[in-house]
Structure 1
Amino acid sequence: MHTPPFSGSIAGHGGSQAVAVARHHGIDTMFTLSGGHVFPLYDAAVSPEPTVRLLDVRHEQTAVFAAEAVGKLTRRAGLAVVTAGPGVTNVVSGVATAHFNGSPLVVLGGRAPDGRWGQGLLQELDQPPLLAPITKRASTVHATDAIAAAVDDAFLLANGAHRGPVFLDVPMDRLYDQAQVDLGPRPAPADRSPDPGAVAEIARLIGEAERPLFVYGSDVWMDGAEQAALAVAEELGIPVVTNGQGRGVLPPGHPLLATRARGAAFGRADLVVVVGTPLDFRIGHGLFGGRDGAPLAKVVHVTDAPEQRAAHLTLAGAASGDLTAVLRGIGDAAKPASSVAAWRTELAGAAAAAAAGDAAALASDADPIHPARIYGELNRVLDDDAVVIGDGGDFVSYAGKYIEPKRPGNWLDPGPFGCLGTGMGYAIAARLSRPSSQVVALLGDGAAGFSLMDVDTLVRHKLPVVMVCGNNGIWGLEKAPMQLIYGYDVITELTPQTRYDEVVRALGGGGELVTDPGEIGPALRRAFDSGVPYMVNIATDPADVYPRKTMGV
């Protein structure tokens, strides 16, 4: 359910205006790093009584990643508040990540005072132009009595399809000034009903296809369409490949789940209906089919908003709007060909063969440790509602292959922007948003260097999470490609077996180094039982590089 526009009266300084509206939009936590330009926002959060939790981090980027992950997990925008100048510039990568992920997010920034603008003030910078290319809107509010409406608009825009980040900064003097504001009723969100003709055309294409395939992405979860997506796949008997937060729409072991047979599914399909994810590099830019001399597949793109439709290839069909309505419309109208039964059998066999082939790696006793063994052990201890966070390169690629979430929305990774350092922010948000669930952050040792200091934040705010570090002592995504291209590599080495676990312990958490594959399972159980932020730092074999058909270069 979308929160309606704010309506009512607010009296007080600019911070009071902003916080009252944020609370209306479901904000209960403000992620921030202390800065004088935004003190009125803190004052409004705690005075005359605490109404919004202040969760302070050690780097503004972590604040934005945490707020973004709140959006991913709750399907409602999170809030980050940062001070002016470097506080804002420090969040650019986090905002870009939310932009590429389609995550609802509001970032409120401080700004040098209007009253002396242009006189060389501390941290005087026109900030919205920096954020404009990676936000739905980036703007400045220059009047105290306009702050409430601007913040309301920011949340409505961030939460509206297609979701994304909104940036708003307020000059320091306007934030401290007082105002009385009365906001009346405002227009309701626009109708998102899909074009019936477009839905009927997709149904027709499904009826003509011999080997149709659904691809479900993150927007299936974000748009609240996961139940409709499962239902239409089961009603029509069409195999499904999932990615992003769409993972778990079909639970592990479901007979239609073809993610483990992804190569065969993408290579042999004659129609691919992509729902809720862009046709980007993660799914071959939408170039499906072509295996064994077959023609390229027809492609249908179903998106939550028209501007998200792929423009780089000719689509056989497309529909936009409320994804539940689109999927239900397809399910009501489509009548798959009888040949789909043989297609299901083919992909089920390929998936079973892939799973059987994985068994040896998942149980490997190799020394040094094979990364797959970690996931063989982790799968044994994960609950159905566990939130699994991936922050890394090769190590997290293995996780994407071997970890199958049992529920949608519970897999978090950096997404197509590929920004390392999301792990601690995502873990903070997951612990707050899912207080009774296991939270596991999977970190490559390279990624750990970006955000591990925010273990201090986990400790100070009493947020226990389990961190698993795949520590191979290299930049794996770079070392192998450089060797392939040049026959040598440079600046791809890290210190082997760096004691990241001791860093966590020094910051007040727990941890241990694991070098024996037989000790992985017991270490994970100790981590989950510890009740504190706990690092299981596992020394893995640098020679085990995640296999790719292309090296991404």
Structure 2
Amino acid sequence: MSDPVSDNAQPEQPIASGALAMHALKAAGVDNLFTLSGGHIFPLYDGCRQADVALWDFRHEQSATFAAEGLAKLTRRPQVAALTAGPGVTNSVSAVASARFGGSPILVIGGRAPAATWGTGSLQEIDHTAFMGPLTKQAVTAMTPDEVAPTVAEALRVAGSTHRGPTFVDIPMDVVFTPGSSNTIADPTAPDTVDHDPDDVARIARRLAAASHPVLIGGTDVWLDGAVEAFTALAETTGAAVIQNGMGRGCMPADHPQVLSRARGAAFKTADLVVVIGTPLDFRLGFGTFGAADTVHIADHPAQLSTHADPAATAAGSLAPLLTALAQQTGGPAGDTADERRSWLSSMADIEQAKRDEDTDLLTGDGETIHPARVYGALQEVLDRDAVVIGDGGDFVSYAGRYVQSYQPGRWLDPGPYGCLGTGMGYSAAARIAHPDSQVVLMLGDGAAGFSLMDVESLVRQKLPVVMVVGNNGMWALEKYPMQAMYNGWDAAADLQPNLPYHQVVEAMNGAGEVVTKPQDIAQAIRRGFDAGVPYMVNVMTDPSVAYPRSTALV
């Protein structure tokens, strides 16, 4: 047991239950709290002061919650947002849903109208747990002062347990200000993990050993579950082609000879086995259909196995030990199989290089207008290998997934499988907090900028410099062009004002920025942004006639 009172020789001074909750969270490893100020949760702020927890505040609760989610993704540790009652909590719902889809371990603490007057119409009186419950792993109310600290500590543990995700606790206002019977808090309890079934691993090992053209897909949970080294060992042992998505990007560097990004379509068409690890068989992966290849699905928890996967070709458990066992049982290829794998992988590498060569003019060329891909060519010129790249947008950010190369794990953030826009400012704050000495760049669609651009003020005020690159084409291109294709050239509700000076919005909040209209000027503008020491916007006027090539609006 631990006691938050610093001088045990003095009589114990009562601590408000909300402040004591922060002592419990600090003991469990929480160093940051994300919020927008609200009277229902003042004791939590006092607890931050007492327990030496950094307090970060935003202009919108959605940004605060996305900041907690972003830091959870980057650090692989549970993070906490505290929000005032009613609209403070409801403003977080999209971010909480994103955390649920992405398996991000966050705890959201909400204020709540007083218990003593519940039902009489107090300010912002609403039962949050009724709507937060379906979005979270656990949603509860701490009804007495003695329940507060142990309840938030348990919710944090549940958030970090496999399979990770958001949890929610609200605390009535008359409870959060009231001290409990003791200042003593329990020592933190370790999160739960899941053991794999050796028989499942053995079945998959036999399939993998027999494959001539195997592909490994590493997803977000390879990173979040601490399985980067095990995934790399499996790939290098088997000699399989490797494709990475989500936060799986960078688990093996983009220039590793087995890693494919531009040749993934060719690999899927000619593979005989695709092993999908740590990501669902969802729309991003064609729902698990890869030409004529058999599909194996591996997840960190049985509940994460896609229901349309073949049960005989699945395994679940903590990924590091599972993948280590799989590598040991599969071993390296031998004889004709080894020759076939090497030959096939070499042919995929040739396709990869050919596609990169085809893109050279698109990524480096000059012209009268700026193709969106040209922005990413310029970005690659100036990025360090440990840079954090964040994508917040639709059509413009689709190019990021295609052209940005990740060389280290945990350095890529995008809207994830939920596809929620407005993550940018919160994720940017999280990236700067997690990596104070690395480049942080936010690739921002002009539509996405409308969700959270006012929180540039939060970045400026709290000295969190990032570079924001806006692809400014004056439209919701992800909707406009598919709608025109469906309705014979007609579209509606898809246009924004063209050529808006978003950089001036940033300047007005004491950041800095500039507008770019020529391809050859993009890279130097981004360099100036990295050197500025304040949030800096590079407002790039991209060609509005260019749309990202896609088969539907949803994939």
TM score, norm. by length of structure 2? 0.95
CA contact (8 A) 1:135 1:167 kept: yes
Give 1:176's aligned residue: 177
Deviation of 1:551 after TM superposition, in Å, equals 2.6
CA contact (8 A) 2:27 2:188 kept: no
- 1:494-550: CA deviations, max 9, x gaps? 111100000000000000010011111111111111111000000000111110122
The 5 A counterparts of 1:259-338 are 259-289=261-291, 296-335=292-331, 336=333, 337-338=337-338
Give 1:8's aligned residue: 2
Match for residue 35 of structure 1 among 38, 44, 55 = 38
Report the AA paired with residue 509 of structure 1. G
The 5 A counterparts of 1:508-547 are 508-547=510-549
Q: Matches of 1:367 and 1:77 in 2, distance apart?
A: 47
Give 1:18's aligned residue: 21
Give 2:252's aligned residue: 250
Q: Matches of 1:185 and 1:506 in 2, distance apart?
A: 47
Deviation of 1:236 after TM superposition, in Å, equals 1.1
CA contact (8 A) 2:255 2:407 kept: no
After superposing the two structures, state which structure 1 stretch, 350-359 or 426-435, moved more: 350-359
Give 1:400's aligned residue: 401
Give 2:11's aligned residue: none
Report the AA paired with residue 143 of structure 1. T
Q: Look up the SS of the partner of 1:264 in the other structure.
A: helix
Give 2:225's aligned residue: 223
Deviation of 1:346 after TM superposition, in Å, equals 2.2
Deviation of 1:190 after TM superposition, in Å, equals 4.4
Deviation of 1:481 after TM superposition, in Å, equals 0.8
CA contact (8 A) 2:78 2:160 kept: yes
Q: Look up the SS of the partner of 2:226 in the other structure.
A: coil
Report the AA paired with residue 104 of structure 1. P
Q: Which runs of 5+ in 2 are unaligned?
A: 5-13
Report the AA paired with residue 111 of structure 1. R
Superposition CA RMSD, Å: 1.4
Report the AA paired with residue 440 of structure 1. V
Instruction: Count matched residues.
Output: 539
- 1:472-498: CA deviations, max 9, x gaps? 111010001100100211111111110
After superposing the two structures, state which structure 1 stretch, 505-514 or 306-315, moved more: 306-315
Q: Matches of 1:285 and 1:416 in 2, distance apart?
A: 12
CA contact (8 A) 1:299 1:315 kept: no
* 1:424 and 2:428 aligned: no
Give 1:147's aligned residue: 148
Give 2:414's aligned residue: 413
Report the AA paired with residue 175 of structure 2. R
Q: Matches of 2:254 and 2:121 in 1, distance apart?
A: 59
Report the AA paired with residue 34 of structure 1. S
Q: Matches of 1:317 and 1:340 in 2, distance apart?
A: 21
* 1:51 and 2:52 aligned: yes
Give 2:9's aligned residue: none
Q: Matches of 1:193 and 1:417 in 2, distance apart?
A: 28
Identity %: 52
CA contact (8 A) 1:298 1:316 kept: no
CA contact (8 A) 1:298 1:315 kept: no
Q: Matches of 1:457 and 1:420 in 2, distance apart?
A: 18
CA contact (8 A) 2:213 2:273 kept: yes
Q: Matches of 1:380 and 1:175 in 2, distance apart?
A: 51
- 1:147-206: CA deviations, max 9, x gaps? 111111111111111110001100000101111154556865445332111111111001
Report the AA paired with residue 545 of structure 1. A
* 1:352 and 2:347 aligned: no
Give 1:3's aligned residue: none
Deviation of 1:253 after TM superposition, in Å, equals 1.8
Give 1:502's aligned residue: 504
Deviation of 1:434 after TM superposition, in Å, equals 0.6
Q: Matches of 1:215 and 1:276 in 2, distance apart?
A: 8
Q: Which runs of 5+ in 1 are unaligned?
A: 1-6, 290-295
TM score, norm. by length of structure 1? 0.95
Deviation of 1:9 after TM superposition, in Å, equals 3.9
